[in-house]
Amino acid sequence: MEIVGGFKVSKFVRPNQFSEQLCCHLNEDGSIVVDEAGRTS
């Protein structure tokens, strides 16, 4: 079987010190966790 294409998914983690200072819950990638209404912790 010959592979002619594909996708590369890179892992990007950015520090988010402001959200950490506010004690927001964070996802593994450093983004802020929000609920279905867009509210944070």
Q: What is the pLDDT of residue 14?
A: 65
Of the candidates 14, 35, 32, which has an alpha carbon nearest to the alpha carbon of residue 24? 32
Q: What is the pLDDT of residue 4?
A: 86
Q: Which residues contact 11 (CB under 8 A, 6 or more apart)?
A: 29
pLDDT in tens, 2-38: 888 888 877 766 666 888 888 889 888 778 899 999 8
Q: For residues 30 and 27, give the distance between their C-alpha atoms in angstroms, rounded to a whole number.
A: 5
Backbone angle region of 23, left / alpha / beta, with phi > 0 → left and psi within -120 to 50 → alpha: left
Is the CB of residue 40 less than 8 Å from the CB of residue 26?
Answer: no
Q: What amino acid is encoded at 14 in this protein? A: R
What is the model's pTM? Answer: 0.51
Q: What is the pLDDT of residue 34?
A: 92
Q: What is the pLDDT of residue 33?
A: 92
